[in-house]
Amino acid sequence: MKSQVVLVDKSGEATGLADKMEAHKQGWLHLAFSIMVYRERSSGREYLLQRRALSKYHSGGLWTNTCCSHPMSGEPFDVAAKRRMEEELGVTQPLDYQLGDRFCYRAELDNDLIEYELDQILISEADQVNIVPVDDEIMDHRWWTEQDIDAAIADSPDVFTAWFTDVYSRVKAQLS
């Protein structure tokens, strides 16, 4: 079965379904979500980031937020988040997701693909996350301090996915 994405208009109203790869080849606006898990430490806030597997259909080898994907048709964001956290990171523990901002972005990516998404951010605080990485999904993961992220964005923004800076800045602002 081919993966499908929910096509939407800019207000977020569903307009249909499309094959995921075709939507990315054509640059059709579709629904997505980005999860950011964070924890508070005495030294400051830390964010759980992942490095996408080299075999991913786009943005392989780049660092990004904890998890990101597309909800299935009719699937609530919290259910989609739980599903993808298990499928990508092997996380089965329950996390409490809060809705963050929703934003639209368009980016031309590698492999002649276009990411044009209405992206819903989900935020969860978790002191510990039991990760069993799925090799086809991620090649690395670690907790990053805000200072480390800010420095990496300033010095080498190309190590991050096209959407990461938007997600990070919105989550950071919401948590402030």
The annotation status of 86 as a binding-site residue, yes or no, is no
- Indicate if 68 belongs to the active site: yes
**DSSP-derived secondary structure letter, 71:** P
**From 13, 40, 46, 68, active-site residue:** 68
End-to-end, the C-alpha distance of the chain in Å comes to 42
Catalytic-role residue among 117, 125, 137, 146? 117
Pairing of strands 114-125, 30-41: parallel
User: Active-site residue 117, yes or no?
Assistant: yes
Any known ligand binding at 46? no
13 has binding-site annotation: no
DSSP β-bridge partners for residue 104: 118
Reduced DSSP (H G I as helix, E B as strand, rest coil) percent helix, strand, coil of the chain, to 5: 25, 40, 35
Q: Which residues are annotated as a binding site for Mg(2+)?
A: 88
Q: Which residues are annotated as a binding site for Mn(2+)?
A: 24, 30, 70, 115, 117
Q: Which residues are annotated as a binding site?
A: 24, 30, 70, 88, 115, 117
- Active centre residues (catalytic): 68, 117
